[in-house]
A and B are shown apart, each in its own frame.
Chain A
Amino acid sequence: MDGRIVFRTFRDGGGENGVSELVRLTDVTKVYQGGITGALNGVSVSIEKGEFTAIMGPSGSGKSTMLNLVAGVDRPTSGTVVVGGTDLGKLGEAGLARFRRDHIGFVFQFFYLLPNLTALENVLIPAQLRGDSANGRARELMGRLGINEVANRYPARLSGGQQQRVAIARALINQPTLLLADEPTGALDTRSGEKVMELLGELHRDGQTVLLVTHDAKLATRHATRVISVMDGTIVDDARLESPERAAAEVIRVRGEEASR
């Protein structure tokens, strides 16, 4: 099947009546040979366009596996993964590669930048794979992410936070429909991690659909509006968080309550 045709209406999400489903996992099972952890057992879930969803769970619970299946870097043992109306199971390897290149931005815990390329060259890789010269866009993105001044440096000369921002720029260069992030703050100090999450939050406010795997509930709940909890390969909770303006007293009580009764 030709990915180009399949994805013709992809950017609009293919939805009707305002709400558009971007991802749907149906009864997805993933079995790993040899007892490797991270298996999934009959997972069904859908993600809407524009959502910022956090997937949380202990290590080995299958949360990264979910992300890899959505990204098309892994295939389920059974069940279907539909992204933007396209059943990834029906794509061949070439179609799947095109799908990833055109529609998925992936950010990892350990950045995975190519050491012999500059920051700018790293950012440009996905665009070049598509035959784009995206120099202007790369510069614009790097400016926005605060890494323009290090564009010509090699990864070894960048801090962890800068490397992750380069990785985010690389993930965004092809304007992906879906931005996936697997523990993007896991290798960063607290402050750099907060900055990276701040960026993901900004991107989400600009309309980017974000799917984040993390173990940091503090950071996840700061930006994500939905938290899916995974345990032993199944979804055990799916919480949508509200964002009302709350007075401090509605959130915290410092030992005053008993006395005022």
Chain B
Amino acid sequence: MHTQHTYCVWVVERLSLKYGVLGLLKEQPLHGYEVKNRFEAMLGGTWDVNIGQIYTTLQRLERDGLVRPVGHRGDRGKLLYELSPEGQKALDEWLATPESGPQQLHEEIYVKLLLATRIANGDLKGMLARQKRAYLQRLRDLNRLEEGARRDGRIDLARLVRGALLHTEADLKWMDELSSERFGTEGAKTE
């Protein structure tokens, strides 16, 4: 179960990186380290990639015919890559495909909630209150991040932060809903 989950997450990440790289190469041909810098800048520092991952990704993309080197193969670090027509097609298809897989719930609160419901009903209220506080602080941090992105003219990043804001708002509503339920009776059935 654990392995399966890890694998699933890993595949999703690799796909985002793969198509992220394709998307950047659509703008212009780039070296490996330019891809890394631009990818991280695009994500506004919310995703660190190491250069090894970038080179591995570029090699796979080249193997699959989705990117191709521009000019001569010399110093690998200086090798420019461009998008191939197949890569363009793959990118367009990916962008046009809605996300229909299982919803990704990465945060530990989901497991904490399950355990608290099963084994520690008494402290559930406290747990929810503490989590709610953390979400409020996160909302404030996200608000500041969104303001910063707008100030910098990064509308794309502001949109991403906005998504995170709305997600956190939903999490907060969830905490409120859980807090207002009567867990003494409702929480008893756990299977």
A and B pair up: yes
Interface residues of A (CB under 8 A from B): 58, 217-218, 221-222, 227, 229, 231, 236-237, 239, 241-243, 246-256, 258-260
Which of the segments B7-15, B59-67, B73-81 contacts the partner chain?
B7-15
Q: Establish whether residues B45 and A222, one from each chain, have CB atoms under 8 Å apart when the complex forms.
A: no
A239-B133, A241-B136, A259-B10 given; A218·B49 CB < 8 A: no
**CB <8 Å contact, A258 and B140:** no
B161 contacts the other chain (Cβ, under 8 Å)? yes
Using a CB-CB cutoff of 8 Å, which residues 124-173 of chain B contact chain A?
Answer: 129, 132-133, 136-145, 147, 160-161, 164-166, 169, 172
Least CB distance, A234 to chain B, in whole angstroms: 12
The 0/1 profile, CB within 8 Å of A marked 1, for residues 28-66 of chain B is 000000000000000111111110010000000000000
**Contact indicator A217/B46 (Cβ below 8 Å):** no
Q: Among the listed A236, A237, A248, A260, which residue makes an inter-chain contact with B145, where contact means beta carbons less than 8 Å apart?
A: A248
Chain A min CB distance to B161 (Å): 7
- Is the Cβ of A221 less than 8 Å from the Cβ of B133? no
Say yes or no: is B179 at the interface (Cβ < 8 Å to chain A).
yes
CB distance from A189 to the nearest CB of B (A): 16
CB-based contact B180/A243 at 8 Å: no
Enumerate the 6 nearest inter-chain pairs by beta-carbon distance, A residue then B residue, closest first.
A256-B47, A221-B139, A222-B143, A248-B45, A221-B140, A252-B46
- A242 near B144 (CB under 8 angstroms)? no
Which one, A218, A229, A259, contacts B132 given CB within 8 A?
Answer: A229
| A217-B139 contact in complex given A229-B132, A243-B144, A253-B46, C-beta closer than 8 Å | yes
